Amino acid sequence: MLMPQRSALVNTPRRSRLGGLALVCCLALPRAARGEVDGALALQTTDALPAPASAPPPTPALPTEPVPEAAPPAVDAGAPKTPTPESAPLTAEESAALAALSSELSPGPETLDLDEPQIDLYGFADLTYVTQVGKKVAFAQHHASFMVGGFNVYFSTEFERRWRSLAEVRFMYLPNGGYAGETQYAAVQGSARADTSVLDPADLNKPVRWGGVAIQRVWLEYRLSNYLTLRAGQWLTPYGIWNVDHGTPTIINVYRPYILNENLFPERQTGLEAYGSFFAGDTKLGYHLTLSNGRGPIDTYLDLDDNKAVGARLFAQNDALLGTLTFGVSAYRGNYTERSGNGTTIEDGELVIFDPPTEKYSELALAADLKWEWEGFYLQSEAILSELRYSDAARPSYSPLPPAPVPTQIADSRRYGAYALLGYRTRWNIMPFVLGQLYHNPLISDSRELAVGVNFRPSPRVALKAEYKYVFIEDPPGLILGDIDFLGLQVAWSF
Amino acid sequence: MPSRRSIALAGLVLPFAGLSLGAAPLAAAPPRQTLVIVTQRNAGLSEISLRQLKHLYTGEQVEGPAGSALIPLNHAPRAPLRVAFDRLVLNMNADEVGRFWIDRKIRGQTGAPRAVPNIELLRRVVATLPGTLTYLDVNDVTPELKVLRVDGSAPGDPDYPLRVE
């Protein structure tokens, strides 16, 4: 039987001078370094002092090994005893709670309540204010604006502790105000701004603008073990840091870096994902493997080619050396195919497949990411490269920046970029940060950017952010775009 | 003559020196608190490491001797015992823990271990349900619970890691 040492039953006052010296050291060090929030560190410091005769605290006798059911708690007969509490009788309310908890936590399908699965409903939202600061440039938003950008709601359900489902939807004011037909690289001249106003008969025909819902993800997963979980549905592509952090309360700054905003990897995919992890010593090693429709105009419910996209992510995380260090690499390979027709025609009286692609390219994306958290310091960086190779038979036109001739056929491209964000979270939950990024896009322009800002989380559920950005834009031949600087303020909250 | 610089330095240091080396006696140190990890009395588990505890209470799955997943149970957020446990095991304060779980849920990962704010209920659940474990103040252990060694140390050992001021 293992018995706790109970030689000391009285707390001994510290030696005041040593205690005072420790206080000086604490005051002279940053809070994070002196263990003010780290009881373990404080404890080690204390224990490093010459041990007084009564170092261990009073500890009641405890059963540290299995004992017969009816046996009383083990007691060291040679030491003074601390009374062990007896279990108090439960009230009716507590008994009901115990039964509910037992049902919920018990392993095995027999406890599954098929009629009333529990749904965890939560989400986040944000409000952003953005304004250009210096000389206003033409290609960016001209007017200072408030914007409700994200209003995402999650529906999470866990069945039997191995099955888990998650659905996340984003409620939007769009399509009101959007320009139909516009794409990332092609403005549609003369297109009208969408107006979704309709008369609401439930409110005396008062005009109301309806908005849309964007499904962010919806999946079901089955956890076999830490080594393997299988997921089916639509999921966020598991690459890098930002795309997984996903929500504005979690993300430190206001704006996504270009390499994410331009979707060098698909932000989400529809298909299957397998992931898992294991520990090799102090290091956690993990993987994600994906099989999906890949990118496409309607990839969430229809693949317009037979080539499934594949992807992988490998990562290593160590929290024993210096803080928590995570390094990962990701890859994605897939085809994009657009077809405009209904896929059939009649030849010689026979209905046959006729489905030529109007746009088709193969895509390879590679990424690496690094995250380091140590005390209050925070470093996050990602680099991504994306190659698009078009099929000559299905190479679309696009509208390059003037004064280039328009339209022209889009060229194969290699886009790449990187960003690094460095911050320090102070004791007041304020994190000043700096972000630098580079982006090369042969279809538009190269840009470099420097941003400084502050992220303040007055509550774990609320993030207040301010970010000033200066973007150095490399003007394309014959066109002056001009650098741009602007200020973004954001409040993001989870609920 | 002391330089301006040395005077300025003395101005910075002296207030701290007064705190640390002054003749006024310091108040007696507060009593230490010992946290213990408990599970069902007849469970096969008798020991756990700090690393496993950290994994368990940060959303990782840890398997017990029988191969089934352990089920960690928490105290209510910001309860003194939870704050102490989070500092000792997770190296986080209450705000950091709050951010950690909110951020995880927004990423789509699992949420925090189930919190049972009623200590009597918590003890009963752990005593009743195989695979569950939680932490208690050493003085709150009841006979139907078994205390686990942590990193090979029992709660009374000098190097027991779950002891806090």
Contact B142, B125 (CB under 8 A): no
Put simply, whether B10 touches A (Cβ < 8 Å) is no
Alpha helices in A62-213 (DSSP H): 92-105
Contact A235, A219 (CB under 8 A): yes
Contact A474, A445 (CB under 8 A): yes
Residue B21 lies inside a defined structural domain of this protein: no
Contact B119, A478 (CB under 8 A): no
Report chain B's C-alpha Rg in angstroms.
Answer: 21
Look-up: residue for tokens 């919806």?
A218
Domain housing B39: 31-164
Distance CA A474, CA A444 (A): 10
Q: Is the ipTM of this complex over 0.95?
A: no
Do A460 and B102 lie within an 8 Å CB cutoff?
Answer: yes
Contact A126, A493 (CB under 8 A): yes
End-to-end CA distance of chain A: 49
Q: Is B30 helix (H, G, I), strand (E, B) or coil?
A: coil
C-alpha separations of B93 from A37, A492, B87, B98 in Å: 6, 22, 6, 9
Q: Which residues pair with A455 in a beta bridge?
A: A431, A465
Q: How many domains does chain B have?
A: 1
Q: Which residues of A touch B148 (CB under 8 A)?
A: 64
pLDDT of residue A36: 33
| Residues whose CB falls within 8 Å of the CB of residue B5, separated by 6 or more in sequence, listed in order | none
Q: Which of B16, B91, B111 sits opposite A40 (nearest CB)?
A: B91
Residue B131 lies inside a defined structural domain of this protein: yes
Tokens of A33: 């370094």
Q: Are strands B33-40 and B132-137 parallel, antiparallel or unpaired?
A: antiparallel
Put simply, whether B65 touches A (Cβ < 8 Å) is no
Residue B108 lies inside a defined structural domain of this protein: yes
CATH number of the domain that residue B130 is part of: 3.40.190.10
Tokens of A317: 């995380």
Residue B159 lies inside a defined structural domain of this protein: yes
Q: Which residues of B touch A170 (CB under 8 A)?
A: none
Q: Is A276 helix (H, G, I), strand (E, B) or coil?
A: strand
Residue B11 lies inside a defined structural domain of this protein: no
Distance CA A288, CA A26 (A): 43
Do B19 and A27 lie within an 8 Å CB cutoff?
Answer: yes
Contact B58, B74 (CB under 8 A): no
Distance CA A28, CA A30 (A): 7
| Residues whose CB falls within 8 Å of the CB of residue A92, separated by 6 or more in sequence, listed in order | none
pLDDT of residue A27: 32
Number of Cβ within 10 Å of residue B47's Cβ equals 16
Phi–psi pair at A32, nearest 5 degrees: -65, -35
pLDDT by 10s per residue, chain B, length 165: 444 444 343 333 333 333 333 344 445 555 578 999 999 998 889 999 999 999 999 998 898 887 888 999 999 988 999 999 999 999 999 999 999 999 999 999 998 999 998 899 999 999 988 889 999 999 999 999 999 999 999 998 999 999 887
Do A38 and B114 lie within an 8 Å CB cutoff?
Answer: no
Q: Which residues of B touch A124 (CB under 8 A)?
A: 106
Q: Are strands B47-48 and B145-150 parallel, antiparallel or unpaired?
A: parallel
Contact A207, A198 (CB under 8 A): yes
Distance CA B141, CA B131 (A): 17
How many CB pairs below 8 A link A and B?
227
Which of B96, B140, B133 is closest to A431 using CA atoms? B96
Phi–psi pair at B66, nearest 5 degrees: -80, 0
Residue B16 lies inside a defined structural domain of this protein: no
Q: Which of A38, A59, A87 sits opposite B34 (nearest CB)?
A: A59
Put simply, whether A73 touches B (Cβ < 8 Å) is yes
Contact A95, B149 (CB under 8 A): no
Distance CA A239, CA A263 (A): 11
Residues 112-151 of A with CB under 8 A from B: 120, 122, 124
pLDDT of residue A343: 77
pLDDT of residue A344: 83
Helix (H), strand (E) at residue A50? none
Q: Which of B16, B63, B83, B106 to mutate to test the interface with A (most CBs of A within 10 A)?
A: B106
Contact A18, B29 (CB under 8 A): no
Helix (H), strand (E) at residue A423? strand A413-424
Phi–psi pair at A203, nearest 5 degrees: -135, 50
Over chain A (495 residues), the average pLDDT of each successive run of 10 is 33 33 33 32 30 45 46 36 56 70 58 66 97 84 91 90 92 89 60 88 92 96 93 97 94 94 95 95 94 94 92 95 94 93 83 88 97 95 97 83 72 94 95 96 87 96 96 81 91 97
Instruction: For residue A403, say if its preceding peptide bond is cis, omega within 30 degrees of 0.
Output: yes
Distance CA A402, CA A422 (A): 37
Contact B90, B57 (CB under 8 A): yes
Residue B105 lies inside a defined structural domain of this protein: yes
Residue B48 lies inside a defined structural domain of this protein: yes
pLDDT of residue A219: 98
- For chain B, how long is the longest CA-to-CA vector? 75
